[in-house]
Amino acid sequence: MGKAKKLFIKTYGCQMNVYDSERMGSALAADGYVPADSPKDADLVILNTCHIREKAAEKVYSELGRLKPLSEAKAASGGQMTVAVAGCVAQAEGGEILSRQPMVDLVVGPQAYHRLPGMVARARGGEGAQIDTEFPAEDKFDHLPEAPKARRAPAAFLTVQEGCDKFCAFCVVPYTRGSEVSRPAEKVLAEARGLVERGVVEITLLGQNVNAYHGAGPDGADWSLARLIRELAKIEGLERLRYTTSHPNDMTEDLIATHGDEPKLMPYLHLPVQAGSDRVLKAMNRRHDAASYIRLIERIRAARPDIAISGDFITGFPGEMDADFEATMALVREVRYASAYSFKYSPRPGTPAAEAEQVPEGQKAERLARLQALLTEQQTAFQQACIGRTLPVLIEKPGRHPGQMVGRSPYLQAVHLDCDPGLTGRIVDVTIEKASANSLSGVLAA
């Protein structure tokens, strides 16, 4: 093996991309790649892209434009910068990327990352541009090494499920990530045990449709997410579990019950509804109505009264009228969210809603502003209500000021406090003194 080569990965989008980037990094570490702080001087640059909203592909092309002079400088000094486009834009655009930006050496879709090291070696060996956007039958994670044995940050992601069969009319995920595949339970348990051995105390289970998880169990039966959580909770040293993202229709009785009786499952649930109008929900192909979502939230709160509910919303979906939008506002007032993400509808090429007549941009924006004002009000109220409470906080990393550390509350809030950095990875009681829209601060409880 020659001298260490430098790798820079830029990650866009969701937590699954963050997880994938980590696994790509460890696969390439086996070939002698070490992380670089910037793309300047890197021997390999990977853009792990997102295609979910807005001019995603355009952003990638401008990033490639910025890389071009760096790549030329590298070549002028006798080096070689290999440029890879990975992620959902790679999957959606495929060979188009190579024709629009010939500096790109390889295009790799999310299901082919286990073949990335070979593709890189071939590209660098002068075999020309490489492209792989196949959906293989095998589990890519079987072929990707786990992160190096070094001590890990106390909170980690673990992908348990990928892809989606729901086909919401606005969404590219079923096309870019493919149909729903659950990893076998035994593999998830083994990876979780490995993470805990390396210092992880909180694991967030990831999947585009994580609560539809149905991985093969060691007993031959399919395990549900609830079953998986109950088994994971038995791992000693693993203190906290979370999961994201869920679809309302897959919130089973058993999973709801788990929120009530499994203390390691944190009282926070991201449960997107997208809209509050039955007409729009139907057009979105969400396959549930507003009333059933509200009833579902009530049942979850009956099991776990303090649970923080978070959601996703889209304004200006094709056909959305003023009255439909008011129904979304009414749903939000009824549910009372602890946090939420909201977006203007953005037509995604190849999805059914992209073909429909569009709501004017101004109207989308105006509705988004009103919705965000209401959601911010609710989020602030949730944050304020924490003042005076003592919450168990997992200390994660140093904060902005010397002596300050940042941790997470059970409700996924960032909490700032002054404490010994030696408490990293410990769960300590913190009395909350101040709250802002996005974080809390407090002191160690006596």
Rounded Cα gap, residues 235 and 241, in angstroms: 11
Q: How many residues does the chain have?
A: 446
Contact of residue 343 among ligand 5AD, ligand SF4, none (CB under 5-8 Å per partner type): ligand 5AD
Calculate the CA 240 to chain-centre distance.
18
Q: From the list 274, 328, 424, 441, which residue makes contact with ligand 5AD (rule: CB under 6 A)?
A: 274
Helices 290-303 and 253-261 meet at what angle, rounded to 10? 30
- Rounded to a whole number of angstroms, the minimum distance from the CB of residue 165 to ligand 5AD is 16
Q: At what angle do helices 322-335 and 361-384 cross, to 10 degrees?
A: 10
Stretch that binds ligand 5AD, among 125-133, 175-183, 343-351, 360-368 (CB under 6 A): 343-351
The CB-nearest residue to ligand 5AD is: 312
CA distance 55 to 348: 9
**x/- contact string, 199-218, with ligand SF4 (CB under 6 A)?**
---------xx---------
168 interacts with ligand SF4 by CB under 6 A: yes
Window 287-326: contact mask with ligand 5AD (x via CB under 6 A) = -------------------------x-x------------
Residues 170-199 interacting with ligand 5AD (rule: CB under 6 A): 170-171
Q: Is 345 in the site for ligand 5AD (CB under 6 A)?
A: yes
Residue (of 212, 209, 214, 205) closest to 245 by Cα position: 209
If one asks whether residue 16 binds ligand SF4 (CB under 6 A), the answer comes out as no
- The site that binds ligand SF4 (CB under 6 A) totals a number of residues, namely 10
What minimum distance in Å lies between the beta carbon of 417 and ligand SF4?
35
Do the strands 44-49 and 5-11 form a parallel or antiparallel pair, or are they unpaired?
A: parallel
Could you say which of ligand 5AD, ligand SF4, none residue 348 binds, taking C-beta under 5 to 8 angstroms by partner kind?
Answer: ligand 5AD
Q: Which residues of 396-416 are buried (b: 16+ CB within 10 A; e: fewer)?
A: beebeeeeebbbbbbbbbbbb
Contact criterion met (CB below 8 Å) for 266 and 259: no
Does residue 247 touch ligand SF4 according to CB under 6 A?
yes
Q: Which among 111, 109, 108, 134 is positioned nearest to 120, based on CA atoms?
A: 108
Question: Is residue 224 within the footprint of ligand SF4 (CB under 6 A)?
Answer: no
325 versus 343: smaller Cβ distance to ligand 5AD: 343
Interface with ligand 5AD in residues 36-55 (CB under 6 A): 52-53
Smallest gap from Cβ 331 to ligand SF4, in A, equals 17
Q: Find residue 401's DSSP bridge partners.
A: none
Beta carbons within 10 angstroms of residue 192's beta carbon: 22
Binding residues for ligand 5AD, rule CB under 6 A, total 12
Rounded Cα gap, residues 27 and 145, in angstroms: 6
348 lies in the binding site for ligand SF4 (CB under 6 A): no
Q: How far apart are CA 322 and CA 330, in angstroms?
A: 12
At 158, list the tokens: 């673990």
- Residue 167 interacts with ligand SF4 (CB under 6 A): yes or no: yes
Closest CA to 144 of 173, 166, 176, 111: 111
User: Which residues of this chain interact with ligand 5AD, rule CB under 6 A?
Assistant: 52-53, 170-171, 272, 274, 312, 314, 343, 345-346, 348
User: Which residues of this chain interact with ligand SF4, rule CB under 6 A?
Assistant: 164, 166-168, 171, 173-174, 208-209, 247
